[in-house]
Structure 1
Amino acid sequence: MEEKLQELINISQNLTNMVNHNATYQHLLDTSADILDAAIIFLDSHFKVHYASSQILSRRELMTEYLRKDADIDYLNLTDTVKINFNQSEIHIFPIFSPFNENKAFVGIIPHQKQLNAFDILKRQQVLNALGLVNARTDLFNETAFRNQSDFFLNVVQGNLTEKAINQYLTATQIDPKTTYTVAILNFQQKAFDPNDHLFDKRQQVIRWFIEEYHYPVLLFAYQRQFILLIQSQRVSIHEFLHRLYQFMAKQGHTLTTGFSKNALPIKELADMYNQANDALQVTSPSHPIMQFHPKNAKELLQLLPSSESDKFIKNTLGPILEDEELLKTLSTYILSKQNISEVAHLLYVHRNTINYRLKSISKLLQVDITMPDVLADIRLALLLKQ
Structure 2
Amino acid sequence: MPSNNEAKQLKKIMNDTLDISKYILASKDDDEILTHIAKLINCDAYIMDVFGRLRSYSENAKMDASLFESVIHDLKLIELTEPVNLLDKYSIYPLKTMDKLTRRFVVFSMKMPEDLSSQLLIENMVNLLSLESMQVSINLNQVRQRRNELFDTILAQNLPENAFEDTLKLNGLDSNSMYKAFEIDEINSVDTGHHQEDMHRVNDYIYWYFEKIQMPIILISWHFKPFILVETKKSLLPLLNELSKFIHENFVGSKTQIGYTDDAKPLIQFKKLLREADEALDVAKRENILKPNKFIPQQVEDILSLVPKKEADMFVDAILGPVLNLKEDEKDELIELLSYYYADNQSISMAANDLFIHRNTAVYRLKKLEKLLNMSLNDVSDSEQLRMATKLYLIHH
Change (3 A) 1:38 1:145: same
Give TM-score scaled by structure 2 length: 0.72
Task: State whether residues 102 and 206 of structure 1, in contact with CA within 8 Å, keep that contact through their aligned partners in structure 2.
Answer: yes
Rate the CA distance shift 1:301–1:166 in 2: closer, same or farther, 3 A: closer
Specify the code of the residue in structure 2 equivalent to 1:283: V
Shift of 1:114: 6.7
Deviation of the 1:379 alpha carbon: 9.3
Worse overlay, 35-44 or 158-167:
158-167
Does residue 25 of structure 2 align to residue 20 of structure 1? yes
Aligned to 2:69: 66
2:283 is paired with a residue whose SS is: coil
The range that moved more, 244-253 or 72-81, is 72-81
Q: Which residue of 1 aligns with 2:330?
A: none
**8 Å Cα contact 2:93/2:105 also seen in 1:** yes
Is the 1:317–1:378 contact (alpha carbons within 8 Å) kept by the matching residues of 2? no
Structure 2 portions without partners, runs of 5+ = 1-5, 301-338, 346-350, 391-397
Q: Determine helix, strand or coil for the equivalent of 1:264.
A: strand
The residue correspondences of 1:294-373 to structure 2 (distance < 5 A) are 294-296=296-298, 302-303=342-343, 307-308=354-355, 315-319=364-368, 366=371, 369-370=374-375
Match of 1:32 in 2: 37
Deviation, 1:319, is: 4.9
Offset from partner CA, 1:366-385 (integer Å, 9 cap, x none):
466459xx997369758xx9
The answer to whether residue 7 in structure 2 is matched with residue 9 in structure 1 is no
CA contact (8 A) 1:82 1:93 kept: yes
**Deviating more after overlay: 186-195 vs 299-308:** 299-308
Is the contact between residue 23 and residue 33 of structure 2 (CA under 8 Å) also seen in structure 1? yes
SS across alignment from 2:80: coil
For residues 378 and 3 of structure 1, do their structure 2 counterparts lie closer, same or farther at Cα, with a shift above 3 Å needed? same
Distance 1:145 1:197 in 2: 21
Once the 2 structures are TM-superposed, how far is the Cα of residue 216 of structure 1 from its aligned partner?
2.5
- TM-aligned CA distance change 1:20 to 1:114, over 3 Å: closer
The DSSP-based 3-state class of the residue aligned with 1:283 is helix
Given that residues 155 and 161 in structure 1 are in contact (C-alpha distance below 8 angstroms), is that contact kept between their aligned partners in structure 2? no
Aligned-residue offset at 1:28: 1.3
Contact 2:185-2:199 within 8 A present in 1 as well: no
The 8 Å contact of residues 19 and 134 in structure 1, kept in 2 or not, is answered as: yes
- The equivalent of 2:220 in structure 1 is 221
- Asked if 1:107 is matched to 2:109, the reply is no
Matches of 2:197 and 2:55, distance apart in 1: 29
- TM-score, normalised by the number of residues in structure 1: 0.73
**Equivalent residues of 1:249, 1:255 under 8 A apart:** no
After TM superposition, give the deviation of residue 108 of structure 1 in Å. 0.5
Partner of 2:154: 156
**Match of 1:183, SS?**
strand
Does 1:185 find its partner at 2:186?
A: no
> Cα deviations across residues 120-175 of structure 1 (Å, max 9, x unaligned)?
00000110011111111111111111111111222233344332232223334443
Letter in 1 for 2:167: Y
Whose Rg is larger?
Answer: 1
- In structure 2, distance between residues paired with 1:317 and 1:141: 47
The CA deviation at 1:302 is 2.8
Structure 1: distance between partners of 2:174 and 2:268: 11
Give the Cα–Cα distance (whole angstroms) in 1 for the partners of residues 274 and 70 of structure 2.
39
1:199-225 CA distance string (max 9 Å, x none): 433322221110010123433232232
Question: Which runs of structure 2 are paired with 1:250-261 in the superposition (5 Å)?
Answer: 250-253=248-251, 254-261=254-261
The verdict on how the C-alpha distance between 1:177 and 1:35 changes in structure 2, with shifts beyond 3 A counting, is same
Contact 1:158 1:271 in 2 (8 A): no
The residue that corresponds to 2:83 in the other structure is 81
Provide closer, same or farther for how the CA distance between residues 131 and 369 of structure 1 changes in structure 2, counting only shifts above 3 A: closer
Alpha-carbon distance between aligned partners in 2 of 1:293 and 1:252, rounded to the nearest angstrom: 27
1:227-259 deviation digits (Å, cap 9, x = unpaired):
11112342x211111111111111112421111
Describe the SS at the equivalent of 2:77. coil
Report the Cα distance in structure 2 between the residues aligned to 1:250 and 1:65, rounded to whole angstroms: 28
Alpha-carbon distance, 1:43 to partner: 0.9
**Do residues 54 (structure 1) and 59 (structure 2) align?**
yes
CA distance in 1 between partners of 2:212 and 2:202 (Å): 15
* Alignment of structure 1 residues 106-125 onto 2, 5 Å: 106-111=105-110, 115-125=113-123
Q: Which residue identity does 2:206 align to in structure 1?
A: I
